[in-house]
Copies of this chain bind each other. A is one copy, B any other.
Amino acid sequence: MTRTTPPPAPVPSTVLLMDRLAGATAGYYRRFAAVAAAHGLTPMQGKMLGLLRHPMPMRALADLLGCDASNVTGIVDRLEARGLARREADPADRRIKNVLLTEEGEAAVRCIRAEVATGLPGLEQLDESERRALGDLLARVFPTATG
């Protein structure tokens, strides 16, 4: 122990950081899925609700979700049957149907977001500077990620 400065902590290799990202992804998804299920929704239905900050065409939803457009029909069908979203004809282009949240849908989104946050106890242990650091780092690694 003669060194003035302690040896550097082991630097996580890229592979180890990948494991952390995988674990964080799994942990977040698990929490999100549990909250969605508590509201009687599948994870994909909950995710779509969260993406509908503004009315948008079915096609835009497919792009945001990264799935084929044909899948959006069924998902929106089920959200519509639950009274959480609805379709509206686009006045400028009659091919387009814009999807938007109902008031009940907006309430569900607010509820789900809050419950997911409170269900991640590790999040509350971070102080503000740590939260900012985490948010900034995530934004740099996933710059175009939509949620």
Contact = CB atoms under 8 A, between A and B. Distances in A.
Each complex incorporates copies of this chain amounting to 2
Q: Is the interface of A mostly helix, strand, loop or mixed?
A: helix
A14 B130 CA distance: 11
A83 interface: no
Interface string A106-147: 000000010011001011011010111111011111111111
B120 A141 contact: yes
Interface residues of A, number: 51
Contacts of A21: 24, 28, 138
A45 to B, nearest CB: 15
A50 B23 contact: no
B17 A144 contact: no
B147 A26 contact: yes
